[in-house]
Copies of this chain bind each other. A is one copy, B any other.
């Protein structure tokens, strides 16, 4: 037995040796050289101040004004534990303080200077995310709907009251039974030609307006989305003109009591954002003047005739919803802020925290563990990537608000949907990873991960459910794809597909599929090509599948049959847009040391994403096994390299301590700030 065992062992060891050669192919050569080369090269040095300057937005001044105001008013700072009712009360006080004491008047910026408006939302959200959202409800949703869907008469009547908070308001779109499917809303607004009024009615329980921010406690008005119904003189008696928006006063200006016919209930405790008072509204024959129709895209005359500059219900609906795209831009942008806070806390703590170590040596920082680098370094890289992508989105959106250029409108629409969906989903996952990466101390409420996660969670759902938004991106890609065959052009953002569609229809090149040198893998061209190849391939294949399935299943059935494929396509496209913007930002960076740091981070973002989807690349032999291995090895190595400048990279986010707040993330004396917090 012993002999046969030894023999078996020798044989097994030979096999293992052979296998190891197979698994780490030429392994030896390329990889070892890479290590030697880079070890000699040492750490990239980062000039935090210079990098920070490059990152900083142009509205830092107004943000600092906001921080200074709350810093000077401790009574307005949200404590770690607070009841729902106290939180709502405090949140309203914070908003009033911001507007009336600090003199921040956001409404004008909603249309005139969106990047300034988003900077205000970001800073308010950093004080307390409930405040950021409450501010958004008042100015972007309620105010924005009046400005964007109404006409001069509405602006004249409501602007000041909204801006100075005399008119706190709501945005009453969602119903109990209808969230994503806005065209399915049931609330009715029937024109009464006798009194020249609309009668707002909730026809059934499913049509109760639900989740309406500002409704449970503070709102005096609501923009109510309802089916416009006009009397006809045929047998039907009434004609449904589709969903329109109406200003409905909901509470008495003096007594603050709900007005007759309006029943308001409290939606109650939420997972997060409990500073925002979400309510449910039921309307029973509530009469409002005809003037309260927000009539920019469609109007009703005194005698009940409908007029619109837009020809169809669908086009009017699209125009109406199109004006709401700013909310998505704000969410994508704010989600990146949350990710910055979370990754800063997790990374600073991981540098501070020491646990285990080599025998008889001091314990090592947990960020020195490969597993911790794996959790946090690609996340840090993504945070940088998203920063530049949303910065670009905000710029595009601002330009669109000025020029109303059609192509730009389409581009911003799809891009905001895609970035909102992709980034908020990524941030949500990252918040859980950060908590877990900080172990027990990550579970202390004071260290922030709980509240950040609970508050941010709904970013994935409101202003468009992520799964629905990604389908819009996919639909848009398919529209462009089809348009191309009809001689059309691509919108700006998908421009790259024009080229890649031709390039990538051919089989992958078996030679480049094996290239595994570091220079090649870190070449932006290789990275972009890989991202775009995947998108083009997914686009072409899903178009073929849709055509095939629609014959037997119809369009709806075919779409559903390919739904996972479509979502993957949308994500792939968004990832490649993000990478392209990151590369641009890196290449435009004037300071060489900052540029070197950004290059490192950008490479990690790109290669980590490719490795995460390596199955796709392998399946079509775009990447040979040796190259797959080299990509994996290099991304682990880049994580290690980024770890070496992680402190500087989070410092460059330039978050004041009053924004991070977590004791474990303080730049000095973190542990003792923590023990003092609990009373030692």
Residues of A within 8 A of B (CB): 1-2, 5, 9, 12-13, 15-17, 19-20, 23-24, 80-81, 83-84, 174, 176-181, 184, 205-206, 208, 210-211, 263, 265-272, 280, 282, 354-359, 363, 368-372, 374, 425, 428-429, 432, 435-436, 439-440, 442-446, 449-450, 453-454, 457-458, 460-462, 465-467, 485, 487, 501-502, 505-506, 537, 540-541, 543-545, 548, 554-557, 560-564, 567, 613-615, 618-621, 625, 628-629, 636, 671-672, 674-675, 677-680
B-side contacts of A271, CB under 8 Å: 435, 443-445, 449-450
Nearest B residue (CB) for A618: B618
Most interface-central of A432, A548, A554, A561 (chain B CB within 10 A) = A432
Most interface-central of A5, A179, A269, A502 (chain B CB within 10 A) = A269
A453 to B363, CA, bound (A): 32
Chain A interface main SS type:
helix
A5 to B501, CA, bound (A): 14
In the complex, 25 of the A-B residue pairs with CB atoms within 8 angstroms, ordered by the A residue number, are A12-B502, A16-B505, A20-B548, A23-B537, A24-B545, A80-B268, A176-B675, A177-B354, A184-B356, A267-B678, A268-B677, A271-B444, A357-B556, A358-B554, A370-B561, A432-B457, A436-B460, A436-B461, A450-B454, A450-B457, A454-B454, A564-B636, A613-B615, A614-B615, A614-B618
B-side contacts of A370, CB under 8 Å: 560-564
List 9 additional contacts besides A20-B548, A358-B557; criterion CB under 8 Å. A12-B485, A12-B502, A19-B505, A208-B680, A265-B678, A267-B444, A370-B561, A429-B429, A432-B432
B-side contacts of A487, CB under 8 Å: 1-2, 5
A571 to B556, CA, bound (A): 39
A9 to B487, CA, bound (A): 9
- In angstroms, how far is the closest chain B Cβ from the Cβ of A59? 30
B428 touches A436 (CB 8 A): yes
Nearest B residue (CB) for A210: B440
B443 touches A544 (CB 8 A): no
- In angstroms, how far is the closest chain B Cβ from the Cβ of A611? 8
A505 touches B440 (CB 8 A): no
Copies of this chain present in the complex amount to 2
B-side contacts of A677, CB under 8 Å: 268
- In angstroms, how far is the closest chain B Cβ from the Cβ of A600? 19
Task: Give 8 closest A-B pairs by Cβ, nearest first.
Answer: A271-B450, A615-B615, A269-B445, A614-B615, A370-B563, A358-B556, A618-B618, A20-B544
A435 to B465, CA, bound (A): 12
B355 touches A178 (CB 8 A): yes
- In angstroms, how far is the closest chain B Cβ from the Cβ of A16? 6
A445 touches B270 (CB 8 A): yes
A84 to B444, CA, bound (A): 13
B-side contacts of A270, CB under 8 Å: 443-445, 450
B-side contacts of A502, CB under 8 Å: 12
A208 to B435, CA, bound (A): 22
- In angstroms, how far is the closest chain B Cβ from the Cβ of A436? 5
Nearest B residue (CB) for A375: B467
A450-B270, A454-B450 known; A184+B678 contact, CB < 8 A: no
A436 to B436, CA, bound (A): 20
- For A12, give its contact among B12, B436, B444, B501 (CB under 8 Å): B501
A618 to B619, CA, bound (A): 7
B19 touches A544 (CB 8 A): yes
- In angstroms, how far is the closest chain B Cβ from the Cβ of A198? 23
B-side contacts of A436, CB under 8 Å: 425, 428, 457, 460-461, 466
B-side contacts of A636, CB under 8 Å: 564
A356 touches B180 (CB 8 A): yes
- In angstroms, how far is the closest chain B Cβ from the Cβ of A342? 13
A461 touches B443 (CB 8 A): yes
- In angstroms, how far is the closest chain B Cβ from the Cβ of A373? 9
A205-B675, A370-B564, A461-B443 known; A625+B614 contact, CB < 8 A: no
